[in-house]
């Protein structure tokens, strides 16, 4: 019987369509070649375990079929099956995904220089002035100069301290508008679209501190969601950010770019054009930074308009989206845990009182507010996969080979929720950070080492003041008593899938202070 079956199978193969036969034979040969090359690679590198393990791939696409939204959550699921260091093939690009604290530390300490580069995707090239922005520039003299300007002249602790009066004024203006909206609402409680309010205050701070100009909103527009400038810039950000994440298939499949199947190119080009007009208007109004303006006179070939625009684009883009998103998540978490709101308000009243508004100097003294912010960044880091890195030299991570040119994705979202490190990792529990109880555990919402975000001090100070002011001045309730939907969306950042709305009512204890704000301009 066996001989008959073999004969029958051979007969069937012989009668198979030649094209199909060649296709099957080619796949078999490719599979065997892949296995042989893999064995040769392992035998030639006996100091490591070879390439990191990977999920099953399919021809041409590699692992693109595993790309799901949100991508950071999909990668966390893959890490649970394949380990804290695994590899993927995104089209023709090789990637290594790191999902453990130890592996992340290894990447950014022992191999920090090797991973200091960025892969330049077509979408990022469009929005980063050809790869010349601070966030996307290759590691080298040009990037170091950009970094120095940002870290020393724009975002240093001294510079952020100088911004404090402006930040305070813009936060007071936000509180004043919300108080007026509540006074005009039925029952004295206003329904607030949090992201719009938070985005506007972040943009207003940056416009005044960087561009020395104010938004054109009038105080009569208390019920308006956003100023005209904030509306324009938020639409620009909303049109750009979703196409910059590492899950953007358009970056990996040239066929999608050739035919622009989803219209991505047109959308990005249009959004970038509007962004450049927005920035050009600010630059033309004033050459913004005193230090940069002086430098352009002495070194115009270095401090070009492109360099200035790229720095501003990074600051305005990251400074508005990440701070507003972080504060929105913090408020969402607190609304689902009202007992945490009461504890935070008690701390504020004990430290600051009810006769004056919280100031930037008060924020560092509010330890529970700091714990809320830290816990929010643990659960919902603004950039859950950071920005992708690219390996510039062969190295090993977690004992595995990482060849030069490999893209590195650090899943901060998964690292922050590692059950081996954090007790009840998915639970919102700010108390875990009180009294140094979490000291020594890796948190990296702003990245690490050379490519760490230089805006950390500004972001934490702004979020702290905004969040503290909202809790000091208002009582908060969920809309219709329903639990807040905590579903995550995807992209470069980690926005809420359903934008947060909440009911705010001015606190009676703050009545006199809030009334004084009505007469401030």
Enumerate the known binding-site residues for heme.
453
First to last CA, the chain: 96
Instruction: Decide the pairing of beta strands 395-397 and 389-390.
Output: unpaired
| Long-range contacts at 161-169 (CB < 8 A, ≥ 24 apart) | 161/360, 163/205, 163/209, 163/458, 164/359, 164/360, 164/361, 164/461, 166/205, 166/208, 166/209, 167/205, 167/209, 167/360, 167/461, 167/462, 167/465, 168/357, 168/359, 168/360, 168/465, 169/208
Helix (H, G, I), strand (E, B) or coil at 478: strand
Task: Look at the chain and count its residues.
Answer: 521
Break the chain down into helix, strand, coil percent, rounded to 5: 55, 10, 35
Q: Are strands 474-478 and 501-506 parallel, antiparallel or unpaired?
A: antiparallel
Measured CA to CA in angstroms, residue 449 lies from 104, 106, 266, 309, 444 at distances of: 11, 11, 36, 25, 10
Beta-carbon contacts of 462 under 8 Å, excluding residues fewer than 6 positions away, are 167, 202, 205, 323
Measured distance CA(127)–CA(119) in Å, rounded: 14
């Amino acid at each position: 019987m066996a001989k008959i079956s073999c004969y029958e199978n051979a007969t069937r193969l012989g009668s198979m369509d030649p094209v199909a036969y060649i296709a099957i034979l080619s796949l078999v040969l490719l599979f065997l070649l892949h296995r042989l090359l893999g064995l040769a690679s392992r035998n030639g590198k006996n100091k490591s375990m070879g390439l990191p393990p990977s999920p099953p791939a399919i021809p041409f696409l590699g692992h693109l079929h595993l790309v799901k939204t949100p991508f950071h959550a999909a990668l966390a699921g893959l890490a649970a099956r394949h380990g804290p260091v695994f590899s993927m093939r995104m089209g023709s690009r090789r990637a290594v995904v790191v999902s453990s604290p130890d592996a992340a530390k290894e990447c950014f300490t022992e191999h920090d220089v090797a991973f200091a580069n960025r892969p330049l995707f077509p979408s990022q090239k469009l929005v980063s002035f050809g790869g010349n922005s601070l966030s996307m520039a290759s590691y080298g003299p040009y990037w170091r100069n950009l970094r120095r300007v940002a870290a020393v002249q724009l975002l240093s602790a001294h510079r952020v301290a100088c911004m404090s009066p402006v930040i305070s004024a813009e936060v007071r203006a936000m509180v004043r508008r919300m108080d007026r909206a509540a006074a005009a609402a039925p029952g004295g409680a206003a329904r607030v679209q949090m992201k719009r309010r938070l985005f506007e205050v972040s943009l207003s701070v940056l416009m005044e501190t960087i561009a020395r100009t104010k938004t054109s909103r009038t105080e009569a527009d208390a019920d308006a969601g956003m100023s005209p400038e904030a509306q324009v810039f938020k639409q620009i950000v909303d049109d750009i950010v979703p196409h910059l994440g590492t899950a953007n298939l358009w970056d990996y499949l040239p066929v999608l770019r050739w035919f622009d199947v989803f219209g991505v190119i047109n959308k990005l080009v249009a959004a970038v054009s509007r962004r450049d007009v927005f920035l050009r208007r600010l630059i033309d109004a004033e050459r913004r930074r005193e230090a940069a303006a002086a430098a352009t006179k002495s070194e115009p070939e270095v401090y070009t308009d492109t360099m200035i625009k790229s720095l501003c684009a990074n600051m305005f883009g990251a400074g508005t989206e990440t701070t507003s998103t972080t504060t929105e998540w913090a408020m969402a978490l607190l609304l689902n845990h009202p007992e945490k709101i009461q504890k935070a308000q008690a701390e504020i009243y004990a430290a600051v009182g009810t006769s004056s508004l919280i100031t930037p100097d008060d924020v560092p003294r509010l330890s529970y507010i700091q714990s809320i912010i830290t816990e929010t960044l643990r659960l919902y880091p603004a950039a859950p996969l950071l920005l992708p890195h690219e390996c510039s030299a062969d190295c090993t991570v977690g004992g595995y080979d990482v060849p030069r040119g490999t893209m590195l994705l650090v899943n901060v979202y998964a690292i922050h929720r590692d059950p081996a490190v954090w007790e009840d990792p998915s639970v919102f529990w700010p108390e875990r950070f009180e009294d140094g109880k979490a000291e020594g555990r890796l948190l990296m919402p702003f990245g690490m080492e050379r490519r760490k975000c230089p805006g950390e001090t500004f972001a934490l100070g702004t979020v702290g003041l905004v969040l503290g002011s909202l809790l000091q001045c208002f009582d908060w309730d969920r809309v219709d008593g329903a639990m807040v939907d905590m579903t995550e969306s995807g992209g470069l950042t980690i926005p809420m899938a359903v934008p947060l709305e909440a009911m705010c009512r001015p606190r009676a204890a703050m009545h006199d202070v809030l009334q004084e704000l009505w007469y401030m301009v």
